Amino acid sequence: MEDYERTGTVTLDYLKKIGNVPSEERLKKGPVAMTECVQDIPCNPCAEVCPTKSIHMDNINDRPKIDFDTCIGCTLCMQVCPGLAIFMLDKSKEKPRLTIPYEMLPMPERGDVVKLLSREGEEIGEGTVVALLFPDKRYQSALVTVEVDNDRLLFEARNIRVVK
Partner 1 sequence: MIDLRIHEHPILKFDRGRELRFIFEGKEMKGYESETIAAALYASGLKEFMHSFKLNRPRGIFCAIGVCASCAMRVNGVPNIRTCIAPLKEGTIVERQERRGEFPTNTVKKETKKEELETDITVIGGGPAGLSAAIYAAKYGAKVVLIDKAPKLGGQLIKQTHKFFGSRKHDAGVRGIDIAEKLIKEVLDNKNITVLTKTSAFGYYEPMTIGAASNERSTLYKIKTKKIIMATGAAEKSLIFENNDLPGVYGAGAAQTLMNVYGVKPGDNLIMVGAGNVGVIVAYQLLQAGVNVKMIVEAMPKIGAYFVHAAKVRRMGVPILTRHSIKRAYGDGKVEGATIVQLDDKWQPIPGTERDVEVDGIAISVGLRPTYGILDQAGVKLKFVPELGGHVALRNKNLETSVKGIYIAGDVAGIEEASTAIMEGRIAGLSAAIDMGLAGDDAVELREKVREELKDLRAGPFGERIRKGLEKVEVL
Regarding 5 and contact with partner 1 (CB under 8 A), the answer is yes
- Does residue number 4 form part of the binding site for partner 1 (CB under 8 A)? yes
Q: Please identify, among the stretches 15-23, 36-44, 91-99, 124-132, the one whose residues bind partner 1 according to the rule CB under 8 A.
A: 36-44
Q: Give yes or no for residue 38 binding partner 1 (CB under 8 A).
A: yes
DSSP state of 10: -
Tell me how far apart the alpha carbons of residues 130 and 110 are, in angstroms, rounded to a whole number: 5
- Contact with partner 1 (CB under 8 A): which of 23, 39, 70, 92? 39
* Side-chain-facing half-sphere of 105: CA atoms under 13 Å: 0
Please, which of residues 83-112 interact with partner 1 by CB under 8 A? 83-85, 103-105, 107
Per CB under 8 A, does 159 bind partner 1? yes
Window contacting partner 1 (CB under 8 A); options: 12-20, 66-74, 136-144, 147-155: 136-144
Residue 138 binds partner 1 (CB under 8 A): yes
Whole-angstrom Cα distance, residue 54 to residue 72? 9
Q: What is the chain's length?
A: 164
Site membership for partner 1, residue 69 (CB under 8 A): no
Interface with partner 1 includes 1 (CB under 8 A)?
Answer: yes
What is the sign of the dihedral through the CA atoms of 150, 156, 161 and 162? positive
**Closest by alpha carbon to 27, among 62, 53, 66?**
66
- Minimum distance from CB of 75 to partner 1 (Å)? 14
- Cis peptide bond upstream of 108, omega within 30: no
